[in-house]
Amino acid sequence: MLHPQVPLTLAEPTAPDTVRDVTLQRARGEARVTFKLARGRSCLDDLYQAGATKVRLPKIHEPRPVAVFINTAGGITGGDRLSYSAGTGEGAEATLTTQAAERAYRRSTGVGRVETRLTAAAGSTLEWLPQETILFDRSALARRLHVDLTGDARFLALESTVLGRTAMGESVDEVLFRDSWRIRRDGRLIFADEIRLEGNSREILKGAATGDGALAFASLVDCRPDAEDHLARARSALEAAARPGLRAAASAWNGVLAVRLVGRDGRCLRDGLMAFLEAYRARALPRVWRL
């Protein structure tokens, strides 16, 4: 109870049209993991994690270890900065993935940025197989992938993107999305790719030359010296993964095999991707893909 002689002072009310500067908290994170070959098996060499990004190494009964990247912020919005890096030493093998689908949420200001840097030494195999990224209405995300390969290293990479959750009736009418890939072997650029969506995504993707109405798309590359020899297997795996609402094609040149897939929605694309990856790789996907 207030003493009767102590005046009660109330804060001055804020006028409805008064705008105050508010510094919003932004996510920052960095994660790094590398693998080496020891006693004939691939094993952890180095691990570092800070901020909103974590790395988990599930126990599996396979010679190829799996590293799972986690964004503990629960998603990405304008102003967030996340950095991932990984590598395999000579003769080592590793598969990298993510715990769940990444989500790019509506932003108030700024652009969310995710940068991934990967290296693979001679004789090693590195797979980058994150689960899909879901872009929500009015989100802004810039994603970059930098890869350096040495000698005959093999690198398999996938990035898939979904425009909203159609099962929830969501529509992505305004979005800013940039996806940049640069892959080099012995310092020489062997693959470069740029995807940019800015504006009304449905309008951009409704054209026959862009997406023909697709709301989900994916890019996959398999960089290996004998990539052209595996084109028939890739096309066969795509035929096995065929389903209504999914279109895909594969090509190969100069040690790079590339696959593009577009789907009417995220579920169609994901189901097709899982079937293709397991057939083409001849091994099961990391368990987090099925959780």
Three-state SS at 276: helix
Q: What's CA 143's distance to the chain center, in Å?
A: 8
pLDDT digits (tens), the chain, 291 positions: 344 444 434 344 444 444 444 567 899 999 999 999 999 999 999 999 999 999 999 998 888 999 999 999 999 999 999 999 999 999 999 999 999 999 999 998 999 999 999 999 999 999 999 999 999 999 999 999 999 999 999 999 999 999 987 766 677 889 999 999 999 999 999 999 999 999 888 888 887 777 888 899 999 999 999 999 999 999 999 999 999 999 999 999 999 999 999 999 999 999 999 999 999 999 999 999 998
Q: Is 165 buried (19+), middle (13-18) or exposed (0-12) by CB count in 10 A?
A: middle
- Please state the domain extents for the chain: 28-290
Q: What is the per-residue pLDDT for 10?
A: 39
Checking DSSP bridges between strand 154-163 and strand 125-128, what pairing results, if any? Answer: parallel
How far apart CA 32 and CA 54 sit, in angstroms, is 9
Q: Is 166 within 8 Å of 129 (Cβ atoms)?
A: no
Q: Is 256 within 8 Å of 222 (Cβ atoms)?
A: yes
* pTM of the complete model: 0.89
